[in-house]
Structure 1
Amino acid sequence: MKTPDVVSKDEWHAAHQRLLVKEKELTRARDALAAQRRRMPWLAVEEAYEFDGPQGRVSLLDLFEGRRQLVVYRAFFDPGVHGWPDHPCVGCSMMADQVSHLAHLNARDTTLAYVSRAPQPDIARVKARMGWTMPWYTMLDGFDADFGVDQWHGTNAFIRDGNRVFRTYFVNNRGDEALGTPWSYLDITALGRQEEWEDSPEGYPQTPPYTWWNWHDEYDVSARPAGEEQVRRAAEAGLLPG
Protein backbone atom coordinates (compact mmCIF):
# COMPACT_ATOMS: atom_id res chain seq x y z
CA MET A 1 0.00 0.00 0.00
CA LYS A 2 1.62 3.24 -1.18
CA THR A 3 0.46 5.90 1.26
CA PRO A 4 0.48 9.70 0.75
CA ASP A 5 3.27 11.87 2.14
CA VAL A 6 3.40 12.75 5.83
CA VAL A 7 3.58 16.55 6.10
CA SER A 8 3.58 19.37 8.63
CA LYS A 9 0.41 20.88 10.06
CA ASP A 10 0.67 23.95 7.82
CA GLU A 11 1.18 21.83 4.71
CA TRP A 12 -1.79 19.65 5.66
CA HIS A 13 -4.07 22.67 6.12
CA ALA A 14 -2.91 24.13 2.81
CA ALA A 15 -3.69 20.85 1.03
CA HIS A 16 -7.06 20.71 2.73
CA GLN A 17 -7.92 24.27 1.62
CA ARG A 18 -7.02 23.41 -1.98
CA LEU A 19 -9.28 20.37 -1.85
CA LEU A 20 -12.06 22.35 -0.16
CA VAL A 21 -12.28 24.63 -3.21
CA LYS A 22 -13.07 21.61 -5.39
CA GLU A 23 -15.49 20.20 -2.82
CA LYS A 24 -17.46 23.46 -2.76
CA GLU A 25 -17.56 23.37 -6.57
CA LEU A 26 -19.01 19.86 -6.35
CA THR A 27 -21.60 20.96 -3.78
CA ARG A 28 -22.76 23.82 -6.01
CA ALA A 29 -22.83 21.51 -9.04
CA ARG A 30 -24.96 19.07 -7.06
CA ASP A 31 -27.33 21.90 -6.11
CA ALA A 32 -27.56 22.96 -9.76
CA LEU A 33 -28.36 19.40 -10.81
CA ALA A 34 -31.13 19.20 -8.20
CA ALA A 35 -32.51 22.47 -9.59
CA GLN A 36 -32.68 20.83 -13.02
CA ARG A 37 -34.57 17.90 -11.52
CA ARG A 38 -37.17 20.33 -10.20
CA ARG A 39 -37.71 21.43 -13.79
CA MET A 40 -38.10 17.93 -15.20
CA PRO A 41 -41.42 17.47 -17.05
CA TRP A 42 -44.05 15.40 -15.28
CA LEU A 43 -45.47 12.13 -16.62
CA ALA A 44 -49.10 11.43 -15.73
CA VAL A 45 -49.66 7.98 -14.20
CA GLU A 46 -52.83 6.70 -15.81
CA GLU A 47 -52.71 3.04 -14.72
CA ALA A 48 -54.56 2.08 -11.52
CA TYR A 49 -51.74 0.23 -9.74
CA GLU A 50 -52.55 -1.81 -6.66
CA PHE A 51 -50.48 -3.06 -3.75
CA ASP A 52 -51.04 -5.21 -0.70
CA GLY A 53 -50.26 -3.50 2.60
CA PRO A 54 -50.60 -4.25 6.31
CA GLN A 55 -54.23 -3.09 6.19
CA GLY A 56 -55.11 -4.75 2.88
CA ARG A 57 -55.22 -3.67 -0.74
CA VAL A 58 -54.26 -0.06 -1.53
CA SER A 59 -53.64 2.12 -4.59
CA LEU A 60 -50.55 4.09 -5.62
CA LEU A 61 -52.36 7.20 -4.40
CA ASP A 62 -52.78 5.57 -0.98
CA LEU A 63 -49.00 5.14 -0.73
CA PHE A 64 -48.69 8.95 -0.43
CA GLU A 65 -50.40 8.70 3.01
CA GLY A 66 -52.03 12.05 2.28
CA ARG A 67 -48.76 13.86 1.59
CA ARG A 68 -47.93 15.66 -1.63
CA GLN A 69 -44.83 13.71 -2.67
CA LEU A 70 -43.90 10.04 -2.72
CA VAL A 71 -40.53 8.31 -3.14
CA VAL A 72 -40.72 4.58 -3.94
CA TYR A 73 -37.74 2.21 -3.70
CA ARG A 74 -38.09 -1.18 -5.35
CA ALA A 75 -36.38 -3.69 -3.05
CA PHE A 76 -35.67 -7.22 -4.28
CA PHE A 77 -37.28 -9.26 -1.55
CA ASP A 78 -38.89 -11.77 -3.85
CA PRO A 79 -39.18 -15.56 -4.11
CA GLY A 80 -36.18 -16.82 -6.07
CA VAL A 81 -33.93 -13.84 -5.23
CA HIS A 82 -30.73 -14.46 -3.25
CA GLY A 83 -31.53 -14.22 0.46
CA TRP A 84 -35.11 -15.45 0.20
CA PRO A 85 -36.94 -16.05 2.47
CA ASP A 86 -34.74 -14.76 5.31
CA HIS A 87 -33.58 -11.48 3.75
CA PRO A 88 -33.99 -9.18 0.78
CA CYS A 89 -30.94 -9.13 -1.49
CA VAL A 90 -27.77 -7.86 0.16
CA GLY A 91 -27.72 -4.51 -1.66
CA CYS A 92 -31.38 -3.72 -0.99
CA SER A 93 -30.86 -4.65 2.66
CA MET A 94 -27.97 -2.21 2.87
CA MET A 95 -30.22 0.45 1.35
CA ALA A 96 -32.87 -0.23 3.99
CA ASP A 97 -30.27 -0.09 6.76
CA GLN A 98 -29.22 3.43 5.80
CA VAL A 99 -32.70 5.01 5.73
CA SER A 100 -32.78 7.71 8.41
CA HIS A 101 -35.74 8.68 10.57
CA LEU A 102 -38.70 9.32 8.28
CA ALA A 103 -40.27 12.05 10.44
CA HIS A 104 -37.89 14.60 8.88
CA LEU A 105 -38.85 13.60 5.34
CA ASN A 106 -42.54 13.57 6.27
CA ALA A 107 -42.16 17.13 7.62
CA ARG A 108 -41.48 18.22 4.03
CA ASP A 109 -44.78 16.66 2.89
CA THR A 110 -42.98 13.63 1.45
CA THR A 111 -43.49 9.90 2.05
CA LEU A 112 -40.98 7.10 1.48
CA ALA A 113 -42.23 3.59 0.65
CA TYR A 114 -40.56 0.30 -0.24
CA VAL A 115 -42.18 -2.21 -2.60
CA SER A 116 -41.36 -5.85 -3.32
CA ARG A 117 -42.97 -9.05 -4.60
CA ALA A 118 -42.83 -10.75 -1.20
CA PRO A 119 -46.16 -11.37 0.59
CA GLN A 120 -46.99 -9.12 3.52
CA PRO A 121 -46.38 -11.75 6.24
CA ASP A 122 -42.81 -12.19 4.99
CA ILE A 123 -42.26 -8.43 4.78
CA ALA A 124 -43.57 -7.94 8.33
CA ARG A 125 -41.32 -10.74 9.62
CA VAL A 126 -38.18 -9.35 8.00
CA LYS A 127 -38.92 -5.75 9.04
CA ALA A 128 -39.29 -6.85 12.65
CA ARG A 129 -36.11 -8.91 12.51
CA MET A 130 -34.02 -6.18 10.89
CA GLY A 131 -35.52 -3.21 12.73
CA TRP A 132 -36.81 -1.47 9.59
CA THR A 133 -39.78 0.86 9.97
CA MET A 134 -40.49 2.27 6.51
CA PRO A 135 -43.86 1.46 4.87
CA TRP A 136 -43.33 -1.65 2.72
CA TYR A 137 -45.89 -2.93 0.22
CA THR A 138 -46.37 -5.96 -2.01
CA MET A 139 -46.67 -5.28 -5.75
CA LEU A 140 -49.68 -7.00 -7.32
CA ASP A 141 -49.38 -5.96 -10.98
CA GLY A 142 -46.95 -4.53 -13.53
CA PHE A 143 -45.76 -1.54 -11.48
CA ASP A 144 -42.16 -2.79 -11.47
CA ALA A 145 -41.99 -3.34 -15.24
CA ASP A 146 -43.70 -0.04 -16.03
CA PHE A 147 -41.33 1.97 -13.83
CA GLY A 148 -38.04 0.36 -14.77
CA VAL A 149 -37.49 -1.74 -11.65
CA ASP A 150 -38.44 -5.28 -12.74
CA GLN A 151 -34.86 -6.39 -13.38
CA TRP A 152 -32.90 -4.11 -11.03
CA HIS A 153 -33.45 -1.95 -7.98
CA GLY A 154 -34.35 1.71 -8.46
CA THR A 155 -36.03 4.74 -6.92
CA ASN A 156 -38.99 6.58 -8.46
CA ALA A 157 -40.29 9.98 -7.34
CA PHE A 158 -43.95 10.98 -7.68
CA ILE A 159 -46.09 14.01 -6.92
CA ARG A 160 -49.85 14.31 -6.69
CA ASP A 161 -52.24 17.07 -7.63
CA GLY A 162 -55.42 16.12 -5.83
CA ASN A 163 -56.08 12.55 -6.96
CA ARG A 164 -53.85 12.80 -10.04
CA VAL A 165 -50.39 11.20 -9.74
CA PHE A 166 -47.34 12.15 -11.79
CA ARG A 167 -43.92 10.55 -12.14
CA THR A 168 -41.24 13.22 -11.74
CA TYR A 169 -37.88 11.41 -11.50
CA PHE A 170 -36.14 8.03 -11.59
CA VAL A 171 -32.66 6.89 -10.53
CA ASN A 172 -31.02 3.46 -10.26
CA ASN A 173 -27.67 1.68 -10.23
CA ARG A 174 -25.01 3.77 -8.45
CA GLY A 175 -27.33 6.77 -8.63
CA ASP A 176 -29.28 5.67 -5.58
CA GLU A 177 -26.51 4.11 -3.51
CA ALA A 178 -26.14 7.28 -1.39
CA LEU A 179 -29.86 7.70 -0.71
CA GLY A 180 -31.05 7.45 2.87
CA THR A 181 -30.95 10.92 4.42
CA PRO A 182 -33.87 13.37 4.18
CA TRP A 183 -31.65 15.66 2.05
CA SER A 184 -30.78 12.95 -0.47
CA TYR A 185 -34.42 11.98 -0.96
CA LEU A 186 -35.68 15.57 -1.13
CA ASP A 187 -33.04 16.44 -3.73
CA ILE A 188 -34.60 13.96 -6.18
CA THR A 189 -38.17 15.20 -5.68
CA ALA A 190 -40.07 17.74 -7.75
CA LEU A 191 -40.25 20.23 -4.86
CA GLY A 192 -36.74 19.70 -3.49
CA ARG A 193 -35.84 20.67 0.07
CA GLN A 194 -38.35 23.54 -0.14
CA GLU A 195 -35.91 26.06 1.31
CA GLU A 196 -35.52 29.66 0.17
CA TRP A 197 -31.93 29.35 -1.03
CA GLU A 198 -32.87 26.77 -3.67
CA ASP A 199 -33.23 27.65 -7.34
CA SER A 200 -36.81 26.50 -7.89
CA PRO A 201 -39.55 27.51 -10.33
CA GLU A 202 -41.72 30.45 -9.29
CA GLY A 203 -44.41 29.63 -6.74
CA TYR A 204 -42.80 26.48 -5.33
CA PRO A 205 -43.23 26.06 -1.55
CA GLN A 206 -40.17 27.34 0.32
CA THR A 207 -39.29 28.28 3.90
CA PRO A 208 -36.08 29.64 5.46
CA PRO A 209 -33.49 26.93 6.10
CA TYR A 210 -33.42 25.49 9.61
CA THR A 211 -36.82 26.89 10.63
CA TRP A 212 -38.68 23.67 9.83
CA TRP A 213 -36.17 21.38 11.56
CA ASN A 214 -37.35 19.63 14.69
CA TRP A 215 -36.66 16.65 16.93
CA HIS A 216 -38.10 13.60 15.24
CA ASP A 217 -40.46 12.89 18.13
CA GLU A 218 -41.88 16.42 18.26
CA TYR A 219 -43.00 17.25 14.72
CA ASP A 220 -46.55 16.15 15.50
CA VAL A 221 -46.48 17.01 19.20
CA SER A 222 -45.27 20.57 19.55
CA ALA A 223 -44.41 21.59 15.98
CA ARG A 224 -41.66 23.65 17.59
CA PRO A 225 -39.22 24.56 14.79
CA ALA A 226 -35.82 26.15 15.17
CA GLY A 227 -36.82 29.78 14.67
CA GLU A 228 -35.28 32.96 13.33
CA GLU A 229 -32.56 33.24 15.96
CA GLN A 230 -30.94 30.02 14.84
CA VAL A 231 -31.11 31.19 11.22
CA ARG A 232 -29.44 34.50 12.20
CA ARG A 233 -26.62 32.71 14.03
CA ALA A 234 -26.12 30.31 11.13
CA ALA A 235 -25.92 33.21 8.68
CA GLU A 236 -23.34 35.02 10.84
CA ALA A 237 -21.27 31.83 11.01
CA GLY A 238 -21.43 31.38 7.24
CA LEU A 239 -23.30 28.10 7.56
CA LEU A 240 -26.19 28.86 5.24
CA PRO A 241 -26.11 27.07 1.87
CA GLY A 242 -24.28 28.81 -0.90
Structure 2
Amino acid sequence: METPPLVSAAEWDAARRKLLVKEKELTRAHDALAAERRRMPWTEVTADYRFDGPAGRVRLPDLFEGRRQLIVYRFFFEPGVHGWPERGCVGCSMMADQVGHLAHLNARNTTYVRVSRAPQPDIARLKAEMGWTAPWYTLTDSFDADFGVDEWHGTNVFVRDGDRVFRTYFLNHRGDEALGSTWSYLDLTPFGRQEDWEDSPEGYPQDPAYSWWRRHDEYETGDDPWEGRLAEKVAATKEHARASAAESS
Protein backbone atom coordinates (compact mmCIF):
# COMPACT_ATOMS: atom_id res chain seq x y z
CA MET A 1 0.00 0.00 0.00
CA GLU A 2 1.40 3.39 -1.01
CA THR A 3 0.80 5.77 1.89
CA PRO A 4 0.93 9.61 1.92
CA PRO A 5 4.27 11.27 2.78
CA LEU A 6 5.40 11.71 6.38
CA VAL A 7 5.77 15.38 7.35
CA SER A 8 6.46 17.57 10.38
CA ALA A 9 3.65 18.77 12.66
CA ALA A 10 3.92 22.26 11.14
CA GLU A 11 3.65 20.91 7.60
CA TRP A 12 0.67 18.77 8.67
CA ASP A 13 -1.06 21.86 10.13
CA ALA A 14 -0.49 23.75 6.87
CA ALA A 15 -1.98 20.89 4.83
CA ARG A 16 -4.93 20.72 7.22
CA ARG A 17 -5.59 24.49 6.91
CA LYS A 18 -5.48 24.21 3.13
CA LEU A 19 -8.02 21.41 3.11
CA LEU A 20 -10.17 23.22 5.68
CA VAL A 21 -10.85 25.97 3.14
CA LYS A 22 -12.50 23.43 0.84
CA GLU A 23 -14.32 21.75 3.73
CA LYS A 24 -15.88 25.07 4.79
CA GLU A 25 -16.91 25.69 1.19
CA LEU A 26 -18.62 22.29 1.24
CA THR A 27 -20.38 23.12 4.51
CA ARG A 28 -21.68 26.40 3.11
CA ALA A 29 -22.82 24.62 -0.05
CA HIS A 30 -24.61 22.03 2.11
CA ASP A 31 -26.38 24.82 4.04
CA ALA A 32 -27.39 26.50 0.79
CA LEU A 33 -28.76 23.23 -0.58
CA ALA A 34 -30.76 22.65 2.61
CA ALA A 35 -32.17 26.18 2.30
CA GLU A 36 -33.22 25.42 -1.27
CA ARG A 37 -34.73 22.13 -0.12
CA ARG A 38 -36.89 24.05 2.39
CA ARG A 39 -38.32 25.92 -0.57
CA MET A 40 -39.17 22.79 -2.55
CA PRO A 41 -42.83 22.64 -3.62
CA TRP A 42 -45.13 20.24 -1.77
CA THR A 43 -47.46 17.70 -3.34
CA GLU A 44 -50.54 16.50 -1.48
CA VAL A 45 -50.97 12.82 -0.70
CA THR A 46 -54.60 11.99 -1.45
CA ALA A 47 -54.57 8.18 -1.33
CA ASP A 48 -55.75 6.62 1.93
CA TYR A 49 -52.71 4.47 2.74
CA ARG A 50 -53.00 1.93 5.55
CA PHE A 51 -50.35 0.29 7.70
CA ASP A 52 -50.35 -2.41 10.34
CA GLY A 53 -48.76 -1.31 13.60
CA PRO A 54 -48.33 -2.79 17.08
CA ALA A 55 -51.78 -1.51 18.03
CA GLY A 56 -53.53 -2.44 14.77
CA ARG A 57 -54.38 -0.79 11.46
CA VAL A 58 -53.46 2.91 11.08
CA ARG A 59 -53.48 5.56 8.37
CA LEU A 60 -50.62 7.72 7.09
CA PRO A 61 -51.53 10.74 9.29
CA ASP A 62 -51.31 8.44 12.33
CA LEU A 63 -47.64 7.77 11.62
CA PHE A 64 -46.87 11.39 12.53
CA GLU A 65 -47.78 10.66 16.18
CA GLY A 66 -49.21 14.16 16.44
CA ARG A 67 -46.11 15.94 15.11
CA ARG A 68 -45.88 18.14 12.00
CA GLN A 69 -43.08 16.34 10.11
CA LEU A 70 -42.61 12.67 9.23
CA ILE A 71 -39.54 10.80 7.91
CA VAL A 72 -40.28 7.32 6.51
CA TYR A 73 -37.48 4.85 5.77
CA ARG A 74 -38.35 1.85 3.61
CA PHE A 75 -36.59 -1.12 5.28
CA PHE A 76 -36.38 -4.35 3.29
CA PHE A 77 -37.48 -7.06 5.69
CA GLU A 78 -39.88 -9.51 4.11
CA PRO A 79 -40.07 -12.82 2.20
CA GLY A 80 -37.66 -12.84 -0.72
CA VAL A 81 -35.07 -10.58 0.92
CA HIS A 82 -31.73 -12.20 1.80
CA GLY A 83 -31.77 -13.27 5.44
CA TRP A 84 -35.53 -13.67 5.79
CA PRO A 85 -37.03 -14.45 8.24
CA GLU A 86 -34.16 -14.35 10.73
CA ARG A 87 -32.57 -11.16 9.44
CA GLY A 88 -33.37 -7.96 7.59
CA CYS A 89 -31.54 -6.50 4.60
CA VAL A 90 -27.82 -6.03 5.38
CA GLY A 91 -27.70 -2.41 4.21
CA CYS A 92 -30.98 -1.48 5.87
CA SER A 93 -29.72 -3.02 9.11
CA MET A 94 -26.56 -0.92 8.94
CA MET A 95 -28.77 2.13 8.41
CA ALA A 96 -30.86 1.23 11.44
CA ASP A 97 -27.75 0.89 13.59
CA GLN A 98 -26.52 4.40 12.78
CA VAL A 99 -29.73 6.35 13.49
CA GLY A 100 -29.31 8.75 16.41
CA HIS A 101 -31.57 9.01 19.46
CA LEU A 102 -35.04 9.89 18.22
CA ALA A 103 -35.82 12.19 21.17
CA HIS A 104 -33.87 14.94 19.41
CA LEU A 105 -35.91 14.63 16.19
CA ASN A 106 -39.11 14.48 18.20
CA ALA A 107 -38.13 17.73 19.93
CA ARG A 108 -38.10 19.38 16.51
CA ASN A 109 -41.70 18.25 15.85
CA THR A 110 -40.44 15.39 13.66
CA THR A 111 -41.24 11.66 13.75
CA TYR A 112 -39.05 8.96 12.23
CA VAL A 113 -40.53 5.56 11.31
CA ARG A 114 -39.64 2.48 9.28
CA VAL A 115 -41.93 0.50 6.98
CA SER A 116 -41.60 -3.03 5.62
CA ARG A 117 -43.81 -5.81 4.29
CA ALA A 118 -42.92 -8.16 7.13
CA PRO A 119 -45.78 -8.97 9.55
CA GLN A 120 -45.74 -7.21 12.91
CA PRO A 121 -44.70 -10.29 14.95
CA ASP A 122 -41.56 -10.64 12.83
CA ILE A 123 -40.83 -6.92 13.12
CA ALA A 124 -41.26 -7.01 16.90
CA ARG A 125 -38.91 -10.00 17.14
CA LEU A 126 -36.22 -8.40 14.99
CA LYS A 127 -36.44 -5.09 16.87
CA ALA A 128 -35.91 -6.91 20.17
CA GLU A 129 -33.01 -8.97 18.86
CA MET A 130 -31.21 -5.99 17.32
CA GLY A 131 -32.00 -3.44 20.03
CA TRP A 132 -33.88 -1.10 17.70
CA THR A 133 -36.64 1.08 19.14
CA ALA A 134 -37.87 3.21 16.21
CA PRO A 135 -41.57 2.84 15.29
CA TRP A 136 -41.94 0.25 12.53
CA TYR A 137 -45.05 -0.44 10.47
CA THR A 138 -46.16 -3.10 7.99
CA LEU A 139 -47.02 -2.00 4.43
CA THR A 140 -50.42 -3.22 3.23
CA ASP A 141 -50.86 -1.43 -0.11
CA SER A 142 -48.97 0.42 -2.87
CA PHE A 143 -47.31 3.02 -0.61
CA ASP A 144 -43.80 1.77 -1.43
CA ALA A 145 -44.35 1.70 -5.20
CA ASP A 146 -46.08 5.08 -5.18
CA PHE A 147 -43.19 6.75 -3.39
CA GLY A 148 -40.18 5.29 -5.19
CA VAL A 149 -39.12 2.57 -2.75
CA ASP A 150 -40.54 -0.65 -4.23
CA GLU A 151 -37.17 -1.85 -5.55
CA TRP A 152 -34.61 -0.36 -3.15
CA HIS A 153 -34.31 1.46 0.14
CA GLY A 154 -35.16 5.14 0.36
CA THR A 155 -36.28 7.93 2.67
CA ASN A 156 -39.45 9.97 2.12
CA VAL A 157 -40.31 13.16 3.99
CA PHE A 158 -43.83 14.41 4.66
CA VAL A 159 -45.46 17.33 6.45
CA ARG A 160 -48.95 17.40 7.98
CA ASP A 161 -51.59 20.10 8.19
CA GLY A 162 -54.36 18.54 10.24
CA ASP A 163 -55.35 15.38 8.36
CA ARG A 164 -53.86 16.68 5.11
CA VAL A 165 -50.44 15.19 4.28
CA PHE A 166 -47.92 16.53 1.77
CA ARG A 167 -44.80 14.90 0.37
CA THR A 168 -41.88 17.32 0.54
CA TYR A 169 -38.70 15.38 -0.26
CA PHE A 170 -37.21 12.01 -1.24
CA LEU A 171 -33.68 10.63 -1.02
CA ASN A 172 -32.20 7.24 -1.94
CA HIS A 173 -29.04 5.43 -3.04
CA ARG A 174 -25.79 6.97 -1.71
CA GLY A 175 -27.54 10.04 -0.38
CA ASP A 176 -29.72 7.79 1.75
CA GLU A 177 -26.69 5.92 3.07
CA ALA A 178 -25.23 9.14 4.50
CA LEU A 179 -28.16 9.66 6.87
CA GLY A 180 -28.28 8.79 10.55
CA SER A 181 -27.55 11.89 12.62
CA THR A 182 -30.24 14.23 13.92
CA TRP A 183 -28.84 17.00 11.74
CA SER A 184 -28.77 14.97 8.53
CA TYR A 185 -32.45 14.13 8.94
CA LEU A 186 -33.55 17.63 9.93
CA ASP A 187 -31.79 19.05 6.87
CA LEU A 188 -34.16 16.97 4.72
CA THR A 189 -37.31 18.35 6.32
CA PRO A 190 -39.34 21.35 5.16
CA PHE A 191 -38.68 23.25 8.43
CA GLY A 192 -35.02 22.25 8.74
CA ARG A 193 -33.16 22.46 12.03
CA GLN A 194 -35.40 25.38 13.02
CA GLU A 195 -32.51 27.50 14.27
CA ASP A 196 -32.31 31.22 13.63
CA TRP A 197 -29.08 31.12 11.62
CA GLU A 198 -30.78 29.12 8.85
CA ASP A 199 -32.00 30.68 5.62
CA SER A 200 -35.68 29.71 5.77
CA PRO A 201 -38.88 31.21 4.36
CA GLU A 202 -40.55 33.95 6.40
CA GLY A 203 -42.57 32.65 9.33
CA TYR A 204 -40.91 29.23 9.61
CA PRO A 205 -40.37 28.05 13.22
CA GLN A 206 -36.93 29.02 14.51
CA ASP A 207 -35.12 29.23 17.86
CA PRO A 208 -31.66 30.51 18.80
CA ALA A 209 -28.93 27.97 18.16
CA TYR A 210 -28.34 25.62 21.12
CA SER A 211 -31.43 26.87 22.98
CA TRP A 212 -33.50 23.75 22.33
CA TRP A 213 -30.64 21.28 22.78
CA ARG A 214 -31.10 18.79 25.59
CA ARG A 215 -29.72 15.48 26.77
CA HIS A 216 -32.15 12.92 25.42
CA ASP A 217 -33.75 12.26 28.82
CA GLU A 218 -34.39 15.95 29.52
CA TYR A 219 -37.04 16.64 26.90
CA GLU A 220 -39.80 14.83 28.78
CA THR A 221 -38.79 16.12 32.20
CA GLY A 222 -38.65 19.71 30.97
CA ASP A 223 -35.21 20.24 32.54
CA ASP A 224 -33.25 23.16 31.08
CA PRO A 225 -29.53 22.27 31.01
CA TRP A 226 -28.76 25.94 30.31
CA GLU A 227 -30.63 27.05 33.45
CA GLY A 228 -31.99 30.03 31.55
CA ARG A 229 -28.48 31.38 30.87
CA LEU A 230 -27.71 30.04 27.40
CA ALA A 231 -25.08 32.57 26.27
CA GLU A 232 -23.29 32.48 29.62
CA LYS A 233 -23.20 28.69 29.77
CA VAL A 234 -21.97 28.31 26.16
CA ALA A 235 -19.24 30.91 26.75
CA ALA A 236 -18.18 29.16 29.95
CA THR A 237 -17.94 25.80 28.18
CA LYS A 238 -15.71 27.29 25.47
CA GLU A 239 -13.49 28.99 28.05
CA HIS A 240 -13.17 25.75 30.00
CA ALA A 241 -12.04 23.95 26.84
CA ARG A 242 -9.39 26.59 26.15
CA ALA A 243 -8.13 26.53 29.75
CA SER A 244 -8.06 22.74 29.84
CA ALA A 245 -6.03 22.62 26.61
CA ALA A 246 -3.61 25.25 27.94
CA GLU A 247 -3.04 23.30 31.15
CA SER A 248 -2.29 20.14 29.20
CA SER A 249 0.23 21.75 26.86
Query: Does the alignment reach a TM-score above 0.5?
Result: yes
Quote how far apart the aligned CAs of 1:229 are. 2.4
Say which SS state the counterpart of residue 166 (structure 2) adopts.
strand
Contact 1:70/1:157 (<8 A) preserved: yes
Q: Tell me the amino acid that sits aligned with residue 230 of structure 1.
A: K
Quote how far apart the aligned CAs of 1:228 are. 3.5
Deviation readout 1:129-148 (Å, 9 max, x if unpaired) = 00000000000000000000
Counterpart position of 2:246 = none
| d(CA) in 2 for partners of 1:229, 1:61 | 41
Counterpart position of 2:11 = 11
| d(CA) in 2 for partners of 1:236, 1:6 | 34
Q: 1:21 to 1:166 in 2, by over 3 A?
A: same
Counterpart position of 1:85 = 85
1:70-149 matches, cutoff 5 A: 70-149=70-149
Q: 1:58 to 1:176 in 2, by over 3 A?
A: same
Counterpart position of 1:26 = 26
Quote how far apart the aligned CAs of 1:24 are. 0.5
Q: Tell me the amino acid that sits aligned with residue 233 of structure 2.
A: Q
Any unmatched runs of 5+ in structure 2? 241-249
Deviation readout 1:161-202 (Å, 9 max, x if unpaired) = 111100000000001111111101000000000000000000
| d(CA) in 2 for partners of 1:231, 1:137 | 40
Q: Tell me the amino acid that sits aligned with residue 229 of structure 1.
A: E
| d(CA) in 1 for partners of 2:35, 2:224 | 29
Deviation readout 1:61-98 (Å, 9 max, x if unpaired) = 00000000000000000111111001111000000000
| d(CA) in 2 for partners of 1:107, 1:16 | 36
Deviation readout 1:36-64 (Å, 9 max, x if unpaired) = 10000001000010000000000110000
Contact 1:154/1:172 (<8 A) preserved: yes
| d(CA) in 1 for partners of 2:65, 2:14 | 50
Say which SS state the counterpart of residue 219 (structure 1) adopts.
helix
Say which SS state the counterpart of residue 144 (structure 1) adopts.
helix
Q: Does the alignment pair 1:230 with 2:240? A: no
CA RMSD of the aligned region, Å?
Answer: 1.5
Quote how far apart the aligned CAs of 1:233 are. 5.6
| d(CA) in 2 for partners of 1:11, 1:185 | 37
Q: Does the alignment pair 1:193 with 2:193? A: yes
Quote how far apart the aligned CAs of 1:101 are. 0.6
Say which SS state the counterpart of residue 219 (structure 2) adopts.
coil
Instruction: With the length of structure 2 as denominator, give the TM-score of the two structures.
Output: 0.92
Any unmatched runs of 5+ in structure 1? 238-242
Q: Tell me the amino acid that sits aligned with residue 27 of structure 1.
A: T
Contact 1:211/1:225 (<8 A) preserved: no
Misfit runs of 4+, over 4 Å = 231-237
Aligned-pair identity in percent equals 71
Q: Tell me the amino acid that sits aligned with residue 190 of structure 1.
A: P
Q: Does the alignment pair 1:183 with 2:183? A: yes
| d(CA) in 1 for partners of 2:8, 2:238 | 33
